[in-house]
Amino acid sequence: MNSEEYAKNRGMVCPNCGSEHICGEGSLEADFGEAEQQCYCDDCDARWKDVYKLTGYEFLFTKK
């Protein structure tokens, strides 16, 4: 599965074998509107990095 197909599946399966037995490793690292997290598959031992991009915000509250 390529990166685009992986994103279409919302990152819910291993991009190598298609297994749902995947986990995030360590903490989410964010910088300048992008975040990354190391991931791995319990079934095939594949490792990859999920990349998240800022798309906007919701629920803005102000004091005025």
pTM: 0.76
**What are the backbone angles phi and psi of residue 43, rounded to the nearest 5°?**
-85, -45
Q: Which residues of 27-55 are buried (b: 16+ CB within 10 A; e: fewer)?
A: eeeeeeeeeebebbbeeeeeebebeeeee
Residue 10: is its pLDDT beyond 90?
A: no
Contacts of 64 (CB under 8 A, 6+ apart): none
Alpha helix stretches (DSSP H) within the chain: 3-8
**What's the mean pLDDT in 41-55?**
94
The β-bridge partners of 60 are: none
Residue 64: the pLDDT is 82
